[in-house]
Structure 1
């Protein structure tokens, strides 16, 4: 006999919920939304939760525990959050808890199709969540179960570095662009295609295969001039040096450098 369809309640209607709710409905799932201040024909958090088997809490991380504690749970329900940083213990008030964390920055009308989603669930709920991910067009990843605090912090740091960490690199590039006497307003439009090109190449060739520039070519003279430009502009060299050492490791992994070249680059990129 086929399992009964799962009824979903999504609590909160922020950025993530505005992507999740249409995706669930497009996959044929039954969904109600709970809002803190519902309008006519809408539901409160508690009203929505009472209608569901799975209750998705898409409120901010620091509201998860209190929101979960305020819901009228009943046996058999599953509470879910979509936070990469918050442990499942925040949903301790629910009869069972799981995590479903899409690895995507959600802005504007961005959807979820094709995104990897990190699933943290026990053996009872894991298969159903994996199947749901497939129906939503997501690529499921299983997080360790149970997940230690250290593992969670490392996972979330990796995700954050791959997202906002790139923005820090672009901000440094913008500063150097301005130091070159170029119009600051042109920097992002001119530099972003380089970033996208590097990422597209990495998707095809892997990180070592995509590394380019003076480090990949062992061009110490050009690299020294880059460092000199930072000094002349009064900018700290710590970020360029740290990134350079990591690019050096990629270039070595790709077999781009011999021992002499690697040593010369390592000396130039040493912390100051």
Structure 2
């Protein structure tokens, strides 16, 4: 199997973690380049590879160049790269929200563009690589780059992959943000409700944790419909009325909207049940 040499521009959490992960699975990491030399040296030491001081030396040693900078820097880095010969090289970024179109034009430079994104949190430079084993990865870009990355990189990795189109990248990122960020305000609301009942803030989160963890396990084991429980699923109008009588006015709209979504799921799960009274209550 061909050995592909991979280099990183950007030595933050993603660069550290993905470089270490690839090295662990036997891929050749050529080295790191960063605006902050201390960061590139730290990453190179962590991954046991080299430090590059300029673009030409990095390009010479690389078959694949991974840009792991903040999103706002991806395009400027690419424009800097295109000042030098790039023929036949894969140029990739690891942004969840940007498509590989950020690298256009590529035909002028002979670049094979692709975006690679792990569906998992990367929060620690030195530890997050351990969590990548079970992650799905999305790939989006040119046919040539996709084929090479699948054959030369992911054939060595245990991860499952899904190929995206550029027009779906924003919707894909919305899915990631929904489960990783948008639920946090709901947790905060629930914690505030318990605090109003006399719980300390830390105790509120700890008290709710088994409920959240059990629900996640149920979703993974039984699917969304199989994990569905609670008063909305039961069609329990009396309990929902009690909720509406105590909920803070600022939270009522989101409670109604999410509960209506739960009704739709409940109707899918229990086609024989009549949820009309509950739907009228939630309007």
TM-score normalised by length of structure 1: 0.89
Partner of residue 26 from structure 1, selected from 7, 24, 27: 24
The reply on whether 1:99 has 2:111 as its aligned counterpart is no
- 1:16 alignment partner, SS class: helix
- 1:237 alignment partner, SS class: helix
The answer (yes or no) to whether the contact 1:55–1:79 under 8 Å persists in 2 is: yes
The reply on whether 1:174 has 2:174 as its aligned counterpart is no
Kindly provide the CA deviation profile for residues 104-156 of structure 1, in whole angstroms up to 9, marking residues without a partner as x: 11123223111011111322222332342342322101112xx22xx222111
The reply on whether 1:69 has 2:79 as its aligned counterpart is yes
Structure 2: gaps (5+ residues): 42-49
Cα distance in 2 for partners of 1:6, 1:87 equals: 23
Cα distance in 1 for partners of 2:54, 2:104 equals: 17
TM-score normalised by length of structure 2: 0.85
- Between stretches 53-62 and 167-176, larger displacement belongs to 167-176
The answer (yes or no) to whether the contact 1:11–1:57 under 8 Å persists in 2 is: yes
Partner of residue 53 from structure 2, selected from 44, 49, 68: 44
The reply on whether 1:196 has 2:196 as its aligned counterpart is no
Structure 1: gaps (5+ residues): none
Matches within 5 A, 1:84-163: 84-92=96-104, 95-108=111-124, 109-111=127-129, 112-131=132-151, 132-144=153-165, 147-148=166-167, 151-163=168-180
- 1:74 alignment partner, SS class: coil
Residue 73 of structure 1: CA displacement?
4.1
The answer (yes or no) to whether the contact 2:99–2:140 under 8 Å persists in 1 is: no
Cα distance in 2 for partners of 1:23, 1:84 equals: 18
- More helix per residue: 1 or 2? 2
Report what 2:70 is aligned to.
60
Aligned residues: 260
Kindly provide the CA deviation profile for residues 157-204 of structure 1, in whole angstroms up to 9, marking residues without a partner as x: 111101101212211211212222322221111112211211110111
